[in-house]
Amino acid sequence: MADDITHAKRDDRPEDSRRVRLSQTFDEDAELYDRARPGYPAELFDDLAEFAGVRPGSRVLEVGCGTGQATVPLAERGCRITAVEAGPNMAAVARRNLARITAAVQVMTAEFENWPLPGEPFDAVVSASAFHWIDPTVRMAKAADALLPGGTLCVVRTQHVRGGTEAFFIEVQRCYERFDPATPPGLRLPAAAGIEGLDHVEEVGRSGRFGPTVLRRYERDLSYTTSEYLDLLRTFSGHRALPESARHGLLDCIASLIDGRYEGRVTRRSLIELGVSHRL
């Protein structure tokens, strides 16, 4: 029976033909994104300090800052940050979220691929849940060009994995199969132990610009009410890209399942991966 199960692909491997269009969906409702998307565990920022040398006073270039889920904690730790965000609405919310922080932070509205690098290189390039949206023919070389020798590329990736309210995530596939024709039948979430992050390690290695990549992993369970979970889904590019009628039907189906069988609350498990690579 196990051989008949199709495991969900990584959340951060967009098809290149759809990459640009999907990346633009986040800016359509930046306020929702800011409200619904969780931040990152404190241990991740501790590891950035230990393994990447990202400490108070470090000059950090953040690629794809969104509304500041990683920018705010880095700024609170005293980093001097230049953040580049392609979405003007996302960038505006990030500036608002950072306004109370006294550390030197600048949010630039620009596509990283076309943004001219400043003359002074950075101690670290950080990208949290965003590096996969950057043109793969550009991202490694430009990140390396932005860094001091010995500076660090720090890429954070997230993946929905098996755990939490497991029965719900099996049952809910019927909703996806009904309203999203791209859903393979029998789709199941992967176990965290089966995700190795080697694709990123290999991409870094192929660039020839960095030393070995150090990986750190964090698993986290977050609980959501029905409305909170639907808000989270509305921030995902694949859901936003569905035709409106299909998206509404899918969300209604999911809401009925959570309310009818799971007492209005589900728990979602995520694997968060940090890869740290030092520029040669």
Taking residues 163-187, what's their average pLDDT?
96
pLDDT for the residue 5: 58
> For residue 167, which phi and psi values (nearest 5 degrees)?
-60, -40
- pLDDT class of 7 with cuts at 50, 70, 90: low
Confidence at residue 3, expressed as pLDDT on a 0 to 100 scale: 41
CA distance to 22, 23, 35, 240, 242, per residue, from 235 (Å): 11, 11, 10, 7, 12
DSSP 131: G
CA distance 253 to 43: 36
Average pLDDT over residues 81-104: 94
Name the region of 56 (left: φ>0; alpha: ψ -120 to 50; beta: rest).
beta
* Tokens linked to 221: 């369970």
Token pair belonging to 58: 């470090």
Neighbours of 258 (CB within 10 A): 23
**Does 8 score more than 50 pLDDT?**
yes
| pLDDT grade for 11, boundaries at 50, 70 and 90 | low
- Torsions phi, psi for 184 (to 5 deg): -70, 145
- 81/42 Cα distance (integer angstroms): 18
Q: Is the pLDDT of residue 12 over 90?
A: no
Over the stretch 247-276, which tens digit does the pLDDT of each residue have? 999 999 999 999 999 999 999 999 999 999
Distance of CA 43 to the CA centre of its chain: 17
Q: What are the pLDDT digits (tens) for 134-158?
A: 999 999 999 999 999 999 999 999 9
What pLDDT, in 10s, does the model give residues 189-213? 999 999 988 999 999 999 999 999 9
- The predicted model gives 38-61 an average pLDDT of 97
Q: What is the pTM of this model?
A: 0.93
Residue 34 is encoded by which pair of tokens?
């800011």
How many angstroms separate the Cα of 63 from the Cα of each of 3, 36, 91, 160, 228? 39, 21, 12, 22, 27
* 267 Cβ contact list (under 8 Å, min separation 6): 164, 165, 221, 222, 223, 224
- Average pLDDT of every residue of the chain: 94
Q: What's the confidence (pLDDT) of residue 140?
A: 98
| Token output for 152 | 């660090």
